[in-house]
Amino acid sequence: MNRIFFYPDNTRYVLFTKQALFHMYAYAQRRLWQKEAGGEIFSSEPDAGGLIITAATGPHPSDRRSRFAWNPNINASDRNRQIEFSHNRHAVGLWHTHPENVPTPSGRDHATTREYLDAFRGDRSRYLMVIIGNRGNVPRMAVWVADHQSTHKWVQLREATPEKLKSMPAEKPEHLGSTLVRPT
């Protein structure tokens, strides 16, 4: 039930665990009355080439939410971040929903990701933006990364196919096994 996304050069990846995915999927905007939701995603090894997302937080009841916008309560987000840090999990990105079949970042999404990356003042080399769409039994999902190495280059990661996983070297990590879920 994991999903994995690769950088364009296929040398690095981001793996989302079942726990993190199910948390985000629960807020997919499948009905017209549902509002955008979001939060942060966490990993115990924020600088790893194989980034494993083990937790997602948010939304908080005091977040400002509408059909086409989500603005987090900063104090609640900070408390969540401190709780996750006490469990050795570090914030590595943001997630939120979009009321669209193919999730696409807005200009505001780009700017917000860069602002979060800058706020880490060099403690992070990259920051992710995950958007959950509203189509499929397993919601469509898109992942982008902003990094400092390329003056905030914005790169879309590509989801692995079963064929891609089969072609990986034999020494691939165990957690990449056969638990891949493809969107429908």
Question: Over the chain (184 residues), what is each successive 10-residue block's mean pLDDT?
Answer: 93 96 97 96 95 97 95 92 96 96 90 84 86 93 85 84 62 50 46
DSSP 30-73: -STTPPP-EEEEEES-TT-SEEEE-EE----TTSEEETTEEE--
On whether residue 63 sits in a domain, the answer given is: yes
CA atoms within 13 A on the CB side of 105: 23
On whether residue 175 sits in a domain, the answer given is: no
pLDDT in tens, 20-30: 999 999 999 99
On whether residue 171 sits in a domain, the answer given is: no
Name the DSSP class of 172.
-
> Which DSSP helix (H) or strand (E) runs through 93?
strand 90-97
On whether residue 133 sits in a domain, the answer given is: yes
Paired with 66 in beta bridges are 69
Predicted confidence at residue 40, as pLDDT, reads 97
Owning domain of residue 161: 3-166
On whether residue 177 sits in a domain, the answer given is: no
On whether residue 179 sits in a domain, the answer given is: no
pTM: 0.87
140 SS3 class = coil
Do residues 46 and 92 make contact, with C-beta atoms less than 8 angstroms apart? yes
On whether residue 116 sits in a domain, the answer given is: yes
CATH code, domain carrying 71: 3.40.140.10
Predicted confidence at residue 161, as pLDDT, reads 75
Residue 100 backbone phi and psi in degrees, to 5: -145, 155
Number of Cβ within a 10 Å radius of residue 107: 7
- Structural domain total, the chain: 1
On whether residue 55 sits in a domain, the answer given is: yes
